[in-house]
Chains A and B, each alone.
Chain A
Amino acid sequence: MNSRTEAFLAALLALAVLAAASTTPWLVFVLTLALAKGIAVLGILLLLRAGQVSFGHALFVAFSAYTVAFLAPKLGDATLLLPIGALFAGVLGLLVGLFVVRYREIFFGMLNLALSMVFYSLLEKLYTITKGTDGIRVPAATFLGRTLDRHGYEWALLLTALALAILCAVFARFYLASPMGQALSGIKTREARLEFMGVSARRVLLSAYVISAVMAGMSGALIAMTSRHVTPHLGYWTASGELVFIAILGGAGGVIGPFLGAIVFELVRVYAAASFADAWQLILGVVLLLVILFARGGLWGMVLKLCGRRA
């Protein structure tokens, strides 16, 4: 697909989000969460390009969300909280990344899972700091110093999420076309060659890992400000699994896939999760298997097929 068609489809999706939100007020909240998750999934997609899957990226989402929750009472402005959340997640991503990029595939996936579970346990157990499973309430942030009413606050967050989503998608597209992005798939297919060309595969993967952590950080900050309440559950393995699920559902072939996947996921969840609360992971697991076994391109792959047929 050429970039003009992709930009057109992205604009279409953005307009659809705005239209849906303005006609159906309760969707504002749902779509903000969906876009926020989509940003984190975009980071997962970068790692998938390198043939790596992280089962622990909720670690960075939760880390940033708690950072925002702790700082919100003091620095209550979204324009400060968002970059700080992303920055903190990025720094943690660099530290964790220096360790995990030494590994591939099984170890990469499972070390990420193990580290995220450690962080989850800490959030749960260090009650004096984190209030355990009760979680922490996040006061409403101001936007550029202005306090907004509830309606205005929700819309401000939706527009921020949309702007960040577009920014991140455009960035990811440039990144994936650059030598570093192209080398990600080189790690999957022929890592030894990279080394024999004088390129450090670890450095290539580390750069993608830190970017993915920053994206997860933006996502976590948005989620904290939107849901106004952070709990350890944000960092549980099911949350990481959700990100991976959305990445596969949306399709790893293009930067719109994560957002398409996240929006479909959140909309279905609004309707289905209440009726199938006990079997929600089960349903996700079955759908994940079906997508992997029978529709590997995910939703974005289907869109591509439709466009291809028409062209």
Chain B
Amino acid sequence: MSEVLLSAKGLRLAFGGVKAADGIDLDVLDGEFLAIIGPNGAGKTTFINMTTGYLKPQGGEIHFAGERILGLSPRAIVRRGIARSFQLPQLFTEHTVLENAAMAVAAREGFFSALKPLLRPAWREEAMDLLARFGLTAIAGTRADALNEGARKLADIAMAVALRPRLLLMDEPTSGVAASEKMEIVERLATVLRDARVTAVFVEHDMEVVGRFADRVAVWSQGRIAALGQPERILNDPDVRREVIGIETGGRHAAA
């Protein structure tokens, strides 16, 4: 449980004058659920983008499972076992939910294989099974552009899980999800990830979700990690409460 899976050291990236990453050091342990909290603009998404190869840091190092992954393309990084989901769900909007999930299965199994249909029996079965675990069976045949935000979010995460990653990075998995279903969805998600033995890093604004599911919490502030530790300690820290949770509570009400 204590083995380091992802190790980031001294990551730096500035956009113009804004330091989105100003010396990020973080070790993600194998099997843990690590929550990232912090105000908007603190560089949380930037961290995900750097880890997945979408943005190239100006300085620092990233290692995954002992291998240096800095400078690799997003595609090469995915193939090494890091998947991500998105704050704004990135679904194939002309496809059904089932087809979206099957695309992810296909991406893992080999896309450029024989001219068999995407929805070949084995892949359809796996995709349906995946959707069932996420509680999406009822909308398997719905086109992705006709879904509500919560369902899109889940489908987006399901696609990332279908890649069978060792590490899953989730950018605000519960934003846009109705408050009444939030806990149920997170519960389900946690079960899926634990069953699949996936290590997870997630950016989250809901402190109830963080408190209940995170093994550790990292607090982001102006491109730095301001605090890191057990949820009980971090969430009760007066500085964190004032700097992060205070702002975020306001933000959440505004969004809801």
Residues of chain A whose beta carbon lies under 8 Å from any beta carbon of chain B: 171, 174-175, 177-183, 185-186, 188-190, 192-200, 203-204, 207
Contact = CB atoms under 8 A, between A and B. Distances in A.
A198 B103 contact: no
B93 A189 contact: yes
B107 A189 contact: no
Contact of A199 (B75, B95, B115): B75
Nearest to A189: B93
A198 B95 contact: no
Contacts of B78: 196-198
Given A199-B107, A199-B111, 12 more contacts: A174-B117, A178-B114, A178-B115, A178-B116, A179-B107, A185-B94, A189-B92, A196-B54, A197-B78, A197-B159, A197-B163, A199-B75
B81 to A, nearest CB: 10
Given A196-B84, A197-B103, A183 B74 contact: no
B99 interface: yes
Contact of A178 (B75, B90, B118): B118
A231 to B, nearest CB: 37
B107 A198 contact: yes
B75 A198 contact: yes
Give the secondary structure class of A's interface. helix
Nearest to B145: A189
Interface string B92-119: 1111000100011011100111111111
A302 B151 CA distance: 34
B94 A200 contact: no
B74 A195 contact: yes
B79 interface: yes
A179 B103 contact: yes
B103 A186 contact: yes
A181 B102 CA distance: 13
A191 B148 CA distance: 21
B91 A178 contact: no
Lowest 7 CB-CB distances: which A-B pairs, in order? A197-B107, A198-B78, A179-B106, A177-B117, A193-B90, A174-B115, A189-B93
B95 A182 contact: yes
Q: Report which residue of B73, B92, B159 has the largest number of chain A beta carbons within 10 angstroms of its beta carbon.
A: B92
A200 B103 contact: no
A213 to B, nearest CB: 18
A118 to B, nearest CB: 31
B111 A185 contact: no
Interface residues of B, number: 32
Given A185-B92, A190-B92, A197-B107, A203 B112 contact: yes
Given A178-B117, A179-B111, A182-B118, A196 B90 contact: yes
Nearest to A178: B115
Contacts of B79: 198
Q: Report which residue of A194, A196, A204 has the largest number of chain B beta carbons within 10 angstroms of its beta carbon.
A: A196
B199 interface: no
A204 to B, nearest CB: 8
B153 to A, nearest CB: 14
B105 to A, nearest CB: 9
A135 B114 CA distance: 41
A254 to B, nearest CB: 15
A195 B84 CA distance: 11
Contacts of B116: 178
B52 interface: yes
Given A189-B94, A190-B92, A198 B118 contact: no
Contacts of A189: 92-95
A194 B84 CA distance: 12
A183 B91 contact: no
Contacts of B113: 179
Contact of A182 (B52, B83, B99, B112): B99
A203 B110 CA distance: 13
A182 B115 contact: no
Nearest to A188: B94
10 contacts: A179-B103, A179-B111, A185-B95, A190-B91, A193-B92, A196-B83, A197-B78, A197-B107, A199-B75, A207-B112
Contacts of A194: 107
Contacts of A171: 115
Contacts of B94: 185, 188-189
A307 B49 CA distance: 48
Q: Report which residue of A178, A185, A192 has the largest number of chain B beta carbons within 10 angstroms of its beta carbon.
A: A178
Contacts of A186: 92, 95, 103
Contacts of A181: 118
B91 A193 contact: yes
A18 to B, nearest CB: 28
B80 to A, nearest CB: 9
